[in-house]
Structure 1
Amino acid sequence: MIRLSQEHLQIIRTHAESTYPDECCGIILGYLGTEGKIVLEIMPTENVWNTEAAAEFPGERTAESKKRQYAIAPEVMLKTQREARVSEARRGSEVRSLNIIGIFHSHPDHPAIPSECDRLYAWQGYSYIIVSVQNGKAGELQSWSLDDTHQFQAEAIENIK
């Protein structure tokens, strides 16, 4: 399960609508709690998919544009992880360091279901939130995580205040 606020969901939806008809992407920061992943920050990022990014991911889809692919710059991921580890999350008497716990992206004019490319490049342990954007308007939003056989399974989303 992944737990996040309405504000977090709105940040994802707004970013997805602002980048349409291209895919948006971003980083989900939080920690693993006793009741699943707890989201504390949503960080929209630039979709840097280009021919250089495509070269890192060989395959039949590499020639496609940002309308069907996304990439987060590796230096952004590294910088975010370093900064998150020194940040502290306070929940009651608990103090935890933050981590990247997931990635979000949009599927313009397609369902919020992971593609084969999404699966091939996903990392176990992360949540993958996908929002469908139909004609520029954010709609269905689902979270997914990889099982032990590297297949996506739906992950429950719980709204927290």
Structure 2
Amino acid sequence: MLKIKKELIKQIADQGEKGYPYEICGFILGKIDYESNIRTALEIYQVENQNKERANDRFEIDPKDYLKVEEYADSKDMQIIGIYHTHPDHPDRPSQTDLMFAQPDMSYIIMSVKKGKAENWRSWELVGNRFEKEEVDII
């Protein structure tokens, strides 16, 4: 389960609209309770999409950005609890590419941005070798 503030979803929507028609991406930072499998989002951190050739339908995060954001999260007593990205003119469902790079114990927010306007979003989690829609509590 993901607990997230409405303002963070608004920030992702704003970033997606500003970045349209390209995929934008970033990290979800917060706390993880491994016993209850609850991830509480406290902050988002946008990074540059490194995939320039297919930025309209793919995103790639530089490993240096992972390290930078991990250090930042540690300095704020938080963890990377997930990744977010947009799907320009496509549904808020994970692609096969999303599945290939997914890790367990993370939330994956996908925001659908159609014709420059953020529409739907969902959070997903990796269960076994497939994505399942994640329960979300807006706090």
Structure 1 partner of 2:132: 153
Structure 2 partner of 1:133: 113
Structure 2 partner of 1:23: 23
What amino acid sits opposite 1:158 in the alignment?
D
What amino acid sits opposite 2:48 in the alignment?
E
Give the number of equivalent residue pairs. 137
74, 83, 88: which one pairs with 1:103? Answer: 83
Structure 2 partner of 1:65: 54
Larger radius of gyration: 1
- Superposition deviation, residue 86 in structure 1: 2.9
Structure 2 partner of 1:84: 73
Structure 1 partner of 2:49: 47
Equivalents in 2 of 1:115, 1:40: separation in Å? Answer: 26
Equivalents in 2 of 1:79, 1:105: separation in Å? Answer: 18
Equivalents in 1 of 2:79, 2:2: separation in Å? Answer: 14
Once the two structures are superposed, residues 78-114 of structure 1 have per-residue CA deviations (whole angstroms, 9 ceiling, x without a partner) of 11112212323xxxxxxxxx11010000000000000
Equivalents in 2 of 1:83, 1:136: separation in Å? Answer: 31
64, 67, 91: which one pairs with 1:75? Answer: 64
What SS does structure 2 have at the residue aligned with 1:103?
A: strand
Unaligned runs of 5+ in 2: none
Equivalents in 2 of 1:77, 1:152: separation in Å? Answer: 22
What SS does structure 1 have at the residue aligned with 2:92?
A: coil
What amino acid sits opposite 2:112 in the alignment?
S
In the superposition, the TM-score normalised over structure 2's length comes to 0.94
Equivalents in 2 of 1:45, 1:114: separation in Å? Answer: 19
Unaligned runs of 5+ in 1: 51-63, 89-97
Equivalents in 1 of 2:48, 2:68: separation in Å? Answer: 14
Equivalents in 1 of 2:12, 2:60: separation in Å? Answer: 16
What SS does structure 2 have at the residue aligned with 1:17?
A: helix
Could you say what the CA RMSD is over the residues aligned between the two structures, in angstroms?
1.2
Structure 1 partner of 2:97: 117
- What's the % identity of the aligned pairs? 38
In the superposition, the TM-score normalised over structure 1's length comes to 0.81
